[in-house]
Chains A and B, each alone.
Chain A
Amino acid sequence: MAKKTQKAKTAKTRKGRGLSFQALILTLERYWIAQGCARVQPYDMEIGAGTFHPATALRALGKEPWRAVYVQPSRRPADGRYGQNPNRLQHYYQLQVILKPAPANIQALYMASLAAIGLEAEEHDIRFLEDDWAGPTLGAKGLGWEVRCDGLEVSQFTYFQQLCGRECDPVSGEITYGLERLAMYVQGVANVYDLVFSEDPPLSYGDLYRRGEREFSHYNFSVANIEKLLSHFADAEREAEALLERRLALPAYDQCLKASHFFNLLDARGAVGASARPDYIKRVRHLAMRCADIWLAK
């Protein structure tokens, strides 16, 4: 009980220093909803980044206009640090915005979103640093920047040129906010686990996620059963093939995502040799490309 009041106090003293984690998400979502984005729900599977969500990976293909914003829990098994590193997580949150076609004022829209969470361009140093992006497992390529605010990388900004091996026409703009980092900056916190998740109830990021980081790090690095993972990967790949035969794009794409995650786990487990790696990536990409074909064919 005593512990809890103490936490409440910490949360309070931080109040006014910046938005809580959940308030930050809400503010950004509201902002983008006002720009005509559909607020889509997170995808219910283990994926490495918001780009893999069908709301981006598939919807950014084809001609129909599309605008969406969503939070996507993202898993990068090899990035786990047992809950000990103040900056690294194997599970974290991205806020993803996808605008198709990318509007001419997309940079200005983005700057205004930063202002909405208290980062006014006049007071801060906001820069666009060259960062061309490629997602080999998804057969994706784009040009853009990483956006820095006072030296801190707060977003990835990409004009998609290619997704699932297909040319993007029209070109979409993708904006990805690294929510933990952004919140740490806004709140002035040096350790991710000290983030104020919510003020009432008074919760820190650590309260919610530290245990998971510890346990999943053990799982990812030393416990996950390699043989099972290998067979899971093969199963998912086979299942995807079978679904592609039946021309069921979305179920097949799910299996492709599964395969991708099993690959990431195998990688974290140290079970992917240097020469085998390109082959795994190629196999996943191949599935993604075929899913896209069927998706586009309707």
Chain B
Amino acid sequence: MAELLIELMSEEIPPSMQRAAARRLLEALDRHLAKRGFETPTVSGRAKDGIAFSTPRRIGAAMTLPQKIVKGRTAERRGPSVKAGQRALKGFVKSLEKKARVVKRETEKGVYYYAISKMPPLKLETALAEILPSIVENFSWPSSMRWPQSSLSWVRPLRGILCLVDGKPVSLEVGGLRSDIFAQGHAVMAQKPFRPDSFSDYKRKMRQAFVIIAHEEREARILKEAGKLTDKHQLQEIDDPELLQESAGLAEWPTVLLGELDKSFMALGEAIVSEVLKTHQKCFALRGRQGKPAPYFLIVADGRVRQGGKAIIAGNERVAKARLEDALFFIKRDRQKGLKTLAGGLEKIAFHDRLGSMKDKARRLEKLTQSETLQKAASGEYPRSVLALSARYAKADLASEMVADQPRLQGVMGGIYWESGKKSGGAGGGGDREVGRAIAEHYRPTAAEGILPRSQAGALLALCDRMDALAGFFSIGEMPTGSKDPYALRRAARAILRLALESRAMVKLFPYGIHLRDLFAEALEPFRGSEELLRQDFPIFMAARLQEYLTHHGMPQDIVSAVMETAIARTTLNPVPIRAHVSALESFVKTKKGKDLLVAYKRVAGILAEERKGAEGGARHSESDLSHLPRDVRKLIALPYAQSGFKAALLERPEERELAKYLIKPRVKLLQERLARHEIGEALEFLGSLRAPVDDFFNHVLVHDPDPRIRENRIRLLANLRDAMNEIADFSMIQERE
């Protein structure tokens, strides 16, 4: 048994990065050690033998390994090809050590000679001295920096490396930094560095030095201490996982204190008070047992406090008071101006360099909310005038002092100012309550699983807002690529899907959904975006998001993909019927009929594929030759005999004539029309009715007739069958069900 402990100590790491970094460290160690033959937790399957830990000032990993040394290792070297002749082989053998064995081995490029030689046993310490420097040098952080004492790049200056095997320090050097013998505790509370002699000793001594190394344990400690305080003051428990996680990433020894606010601030309302406390001070706003906001808040300090943390509480209270007074002041001034005046200030606020100001954005938004696509799709009364007004003022609060100070209150403030304008009869007022709600809600959802707007106008405004962003950024070529998505367009697209599929208000108004492609086309108008965006980029991008969404919600990957391949899904991109389509098809392929048809489809596809190989021989286009063509064209070329007709006169046998009845043009057209109307039930009925004739066909008709004209006609008939089925889904992508 061997125990490995690594700690990389640095100056304060942003809380959002700590845990992921520690995990990456553990994974990298595991990977590199496994490659060298060590039985790491991943290799042995004992995941709990590997532990990643992090604090604000360190990331670390500990591991238990069954052996400290790897014996019987071999090294391999590739020599010449067997075709290279005796001379090459001789030269190769000459270059080898005496004990090396030479073997022949088949590779992708042909048969080669390989030399296999024994290697000396590898000690864990030796392996680490080699592995750890390369891990540290190549470690990836979301942002990293240089500093004078080292040639490394790290999130903040790396100040210490501790690497212990069974409690003994391994000596190594990385980028000018030597490994330490001592570990250091809390920056302020602990004075003397110490020498840990095992992982458990390290944990214990760290605790004595006021550092809790496990993030989860620090969260638990915050919850426990917070619970004591809220109990004592008859308050509700804290419930803000995001802030809890951040707090645990900001303190090595979290200590919770209670601060008090002047009751007069409660008039600001809970949204503002908690936002000010949270974003500026990382403090938890509190509620009383009945759920009403209470004039208290929790502070998470770092380290053990003196005198009950008097100075810390007083300081935080004073800052909170100043911040909230600022808020009162800002709100007073913003209200004096009113939303109309504020909206005038939007000209000065950029949406994006190349996409104009927020004023331009508001103008576009107002127009887009009056979209034909939306109005046509609405099943009830479309809230035209409410939307026009809310779009006009939706962004006005961005010019307010309150939002300049607290950006996350965007929307919320607009709603409040709309209401107060109404009361005073001032600018922006006079409208109904719905407008204020729509303004307040239109940034929702603010997180992936965040709450959606409740009001109809709010949901519609939220949808249009995102669609405008997609159209704008697409029009200037700023589509997300790979891991880069600087304008969070994927998130915007996911929000659009959630709005269309989950928002109750939306589903009520649009029970048959919205054609997102048409809405995108309207959103694109003011940007004069190219046709290409509408035909290619947007459908591909949105289809990918929809695919993610549906599989994320438990729909089978293969069926989702198969449906997304159909022309109808790609052209309308209406998520409501697409979802219905997927779930109907999912049930269908589980039925006997469905299974049989799937088998038949695969058989047809096989026959057609054979046919293509034979007919086109070597002259076939390779995929890469076609890469410049649009996707749909590419697909057509890839499908043999696609959309080819068959001749009724050449159909000899009754079984093939029967099958042909289902595949005549008017029937296929009817099917297409049904799909266009999203009548998936009827489409599947058609599919089901195919089963008997298809079975009969295969039981009684020989495709490979000696008469080449008849044979080709049969092939064409089958191609028609495949094409008809492909209208519903690309069955080649669907796996057979158990």
Contacts and interface: CB of A to CB of B under 8 A. Distances in A.
A101 B157 CA distance: 13
Interface string B299-327: 10111011101011011101111100110
A143 B145 contact: yes
B12 A87 contact: no
Given A85-B329, A86-B325, A122-B188, A150 B315 contact: yes
Contacts of A161: 145-146
A107 interface: yes
B541 to A, nearest CB: 27
Interface in A76-90: 85-87
Interface residues of A, number: 43
Contact of A123 (B143, B306, B353): B306
B425 interface: no
B303 A273 contact: no
Contacts of B155: 143
Contacts of A103: 148
A245 interface: no
Contact of A151 (B281, B305, B306, B351): B281
Contacts of B322: 86-87, 190
Interface in A88-137: 101-104, 107, 111, 121-130, 132
Interface residues of B, number: 54
A132 B141 CA distance: 14
Given A150-B311, A150-B316, A128 B148 contact: no
A185 B357 contact: no
Nearest to B17: A130
A142 B301 CA distance: 27
B633 to A, nearest CB: 39
Given A125-B302, A274-B356, A152 B250 contact: no
A273 B312 contact: no
A251 interface: no
Nearest to A170: B148
A132 B17 CA distance: 14
Most B CB atoms within 10 A — which of A87, A125, A129, A278? A125
Contacts of B149: 104
A145 B315 contact: no
A13 interface: no
Most A CB atoms within 10 A — which of B189, B306, B348? B348
Interface string B28-68: 00000000000000000000000000001000000000000
Contact of B357 (A107, A144, A274, A278): A274
A171 B148 contact: yes
B251 to A, nearest CB: 8
Contacts of B358: 274
Given A104-B159, A127-B250, A151-B281, A185 B315 contact: yes
A270 interface: yes
A151 B307 CA distance: 18
B321 A190 contact: yes
A123 B311 contact: yes
Contacts of B325: 86
A125 B145 contact: no
Interface string A177-195: 0000000010010100000
A292 B159 CA distance: 31
Nearest to B146: A171
B14 interface: yes
Interface of B: 11-12, 14-15, 56, 143-149, 155-157, 159, 187-189, 250-251, 281-283, 299, 301-303, 305-307, 309, 311-312, 314-316, 318-322, 325-326, 329, 347-351, 353, 356-358
Interface of A: 85-87, 101-104, 107, 111, 121-130, 132, 142-145, 149-152, 159, 161, 169-171, 185, 188, 190, 270, 272-275, 277-278
Given A129-B250, A130-B15, A171-B148, 11 more contacts: A102-B147, A129-B12, A150-B314, A151-B320, A159-B157, A169-B146, A171-B146, A188-B318, A273-B357, A278-B350, A278-B353
